[in-house]
């Protein structure tokens, strides 16, 4: 079993991982040697703070071992992803990969003899969405019937939230004036529409009024953030998105908790005062990456 997105996962399987993450957080001692002598290869083509740290610490605390592999230092750069993965999966028990292209991750999954976890590509960020749903369940005690409003660019994080929410009974409204085309997955959106739990609007103020959670993300993908060639597109996005910033004015009539998957760009997608306000659960959400990483690893590796 791989975790590329949530397409192969039922709502109850997803809920099982979320509940496991909450249990792991409450009772870490129960899982101390659960992955004794197991190895996780973590291969990164893009930058990361949380995904790297949470999975590496998760493996250590579960009794296993993780290897950080910078893509640029490997022979993935000069050979087929298929062949290199054939080798890699014969020496480790699991692979977590943050690749630029989902197409390469699909090749990796096909070649691998062990589970492959998507550490975020241009289409999906499933490990983040599991931490998000865990955080929501911790705050409210349940998921079914809650309402999350995502305000930002329609991107990989947005896709996985749509999948994760609609599979676990959470209503999700997206307010996304810009669609990041590389993330487009019509099949995912069609499946979400069928549940009746997914809708989209441009009226952010109306959408947040009865929301339980308001969520935002960066307006520019990490691989382009410092790229001079992307300057014009970055400026265009800032111009279009500024009216959709999460700030006190937008949330005046809302009691929603505020979420962000981080890294944050203060003063752009979210104002500083909101990040520091009591309604912000952003740092708790980021802490939960560790427990959700453990739950994902346990699901894929325990007793294997
Ligand atoms: N949210 C998230 O995936 O953080 P990193 O990019 O730092 O891993």
Answer whether residue 209 is part of any domain: yes
Q: Cis link prior to 263 (omega < 30° from 0)? A: yes
Q: Which ligand 1 atom is the nearest neighbour of the CA of 286? A: 1
The mean pLDDT value for 115-137 works out to 98
pLDDT digits (tens, 9 = 90+) for 146-181: 999 999 999 999 999 999 999 999 999 999 999 999
The mean pLDDT value for 111-132 works out to 98
The mean pLDDT value for 69-97 works out to 98
Is the whole model's pTM more than 0.85, yes or no? yes
**For helices 282-301 and 126-140, angle between their N-to-C axes, nearest 10 degrees:** 120
Answer whether residue 193 is part of any domain: yes
4 against 221, higher pLDDT: 4
Domain shared by 133 and 280, yes or no: yes
Cα of first residue to Cα of last residue in the chain, in angstroms, is 11
Domain shared by 120 and 130, yes or no: no
Q: What is the pLDDT of residue 221?
A: 78
Answer whether residue 6 is part of any domain: no
Q: Which two tokens stand for residue 97?
A: 């990969």
CA of 104 to the centre of ligand 1 (A): 20
- Give the separation between CA 69 and CA 188, rounded to whole angstroms: 31
**128 pocket-lining for ligand 1 (C-beta < 6 Å):** yes
pLDDT digits (tens, 9 = 90+) for 110-120: 999 999 999 99
- Give the separation between CA 90 and CA 19, rounded to whole angstroms: 31
**262 pocket-lining for ligand 1 (C-beta < 6 Å):** yes
Domain shared by 74 and 85, yes or no: yes
Nearest CA to ligand 1 atom 6: 48
Domain shared by 139 and 280, yes or no: yes
The mean pLDDT value for 257-282 works out to 97
Answer whether residue 3 is part of any domain: no
Q: What is the pLDDT of residue 228?
A: 87
The mean pLDDT value for 231-248 works out to 94
pLDDT digits (tens, 9 = 90+) for 84-112: 999 999 999 999 999 999 999 999 999 99
DSSP 92-126: -SEEEEE-S-HHHHHHHHHH-SS-EEE---SS--H
CA of 253 to the centre of ligand 1 (A): 30
Q: What is the pLDDT of residue 224?
A: 76
CA of 263 to the centre of ligand 1 (A): 6
Answer whether residue 76 is part of any domain: yes
Q: How many CB atoms lie within 10 A of CB 70?
A: 10
Ligand 1 pocket test, pick from 58, 262, 264, 283 with the greatest ligand atom count within 8 Å of Cβ, gives 262
Scan for tokens 């989209």, then name that residue: 200
Answer whether residue 1 is part of any domain: no
Residue 303 clears pLDDT 80, i.e. is over it: no
Domain shared by 38 and 141, yes or no: no
Domain shared by 66 and 178, yes or no: no
The domain tally of the chain equals: 2
Nearest CA to ligand 1 atom 3: 51
CATH number at residue 157: 3.40.50.1370
Grade residue 227 by pLDDT with cuts at 50, 70 and 90. Answer: confident
CA of 125 to the centre of ligand 1 (A): 9
Answer whether residue 18 is part of any domain: yes
pLDDT digits (tens, 9 = 90+) for 56-68: 999 999 999 999 9
Answer whether residue 215 is part of any domain: yes
Domain shared by 60 and 21, yes or no: yes
Grade residue 29 by pLDDT with cuts at 50, 70 and 90. Answer: very high
**For helices 156-167 and 11-26, angle between their N-to-C axes, nearest 10 degrees:** 100
Nearest CA to ligand 1 atom 2: 50
**49 pocket-lining for ligand 1 (C-beta < 6 Å):** yes
Nearest CA to ligand 1 atom 4: 50
Q: What is the pLDDT of residue 277?
A: 96
Counting residues of the chain whose pLDDT is more than 70, the rounded percentage is 99
Q: How many CB atoms lie within 10 A of CB 67?
A: 14
Domain shared by 70 and 139, yes or no: no
Q: Taking Cα atoms as reference points, which of 48, 14, 72 lies closest to residue 295?
A: 14
Domain shared by 59 and 181, yes or no: no
- Give the separation between CA 83 and CA 87, rounded to whole angstroms: 7
Domain shared by 22 and 167, yes or no: no
CA of 54 to the centre of ligand 1 (A): 10
Residue 214 clears pLDDT 80, i.e. is over it: yes
- Give the separation between CA 143 and CA 171, rounded to whole angstroms: 9
Domain shared by 67 and 208, yes or no: no
Domain shared by 22 and 153, yes or no: no
Q: Could you give the angle at the alpha carbon of 32 between the alpha carbons of 30 and 37, nearest 5°?
A: 135
Q: Residue 19: which domain range?
A: 11-124+289-301
């Amino acid at each position: 079993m791989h975790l590329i997105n949530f397409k192969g996962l039922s709502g109850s399987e997803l809920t099982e991982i979320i509940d496991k993450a909450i249990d792991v957080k409450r009772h870490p001692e129960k899982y101390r040697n659960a992955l004794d002598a197991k190895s996780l290869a973590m291969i990164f083509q893009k930058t990361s703070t949380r995904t790297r740290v949470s999975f590496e610490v998760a493996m250590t605390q579960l009794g296993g071992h993780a290897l950080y592999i910078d893509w640029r230092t490997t022979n993935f750069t000069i050979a087929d992803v298929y062949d290199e993965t054939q080798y890699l999966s014969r020496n480790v028990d699991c692979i977590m990969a943050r690749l630029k292209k989902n197409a390469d991750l699909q090749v990796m999954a096909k070649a691998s003899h062990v589970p492959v976890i998507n550490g975020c590509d241009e289409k999906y960020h499933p490990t983040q969405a599991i931490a998000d749903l865990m955080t929501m369940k911790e705050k409210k005690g349940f998921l079914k019937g809650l309402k999350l409003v995502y305000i930002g660019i329609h991107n990989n994080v947005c896709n996985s939230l749509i999948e994760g929410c609609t599979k676990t009974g959470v209503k999700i409204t997206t307010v996304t004036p810009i669609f990041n085309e590389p993330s487009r997955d019509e099949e995912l959106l069609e499946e979400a529409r069928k549940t009746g739990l997914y809708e989209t609007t441009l009226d952010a103020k109306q959408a947040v009024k009865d929301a339980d959670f308001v969520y935002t993300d960066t307006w520019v993908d990490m691989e382009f953030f410092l790229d001079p060639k992307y300057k014009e597109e970055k400026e265009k996005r800032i111009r279009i998105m500024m009216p959709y910033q999460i700030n006190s004015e937008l949330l005046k009539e809302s009691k929603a908790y505020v979420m962000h998957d981080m890294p944050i760009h203060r003063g752009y997608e979210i104002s500083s005062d909101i990040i520091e306000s009591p309604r912000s659960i952003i740092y708790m959400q980021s802490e939960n990456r560790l427990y959700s990483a453990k739950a994902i690893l346990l699901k894929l590796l325990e007793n294997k």
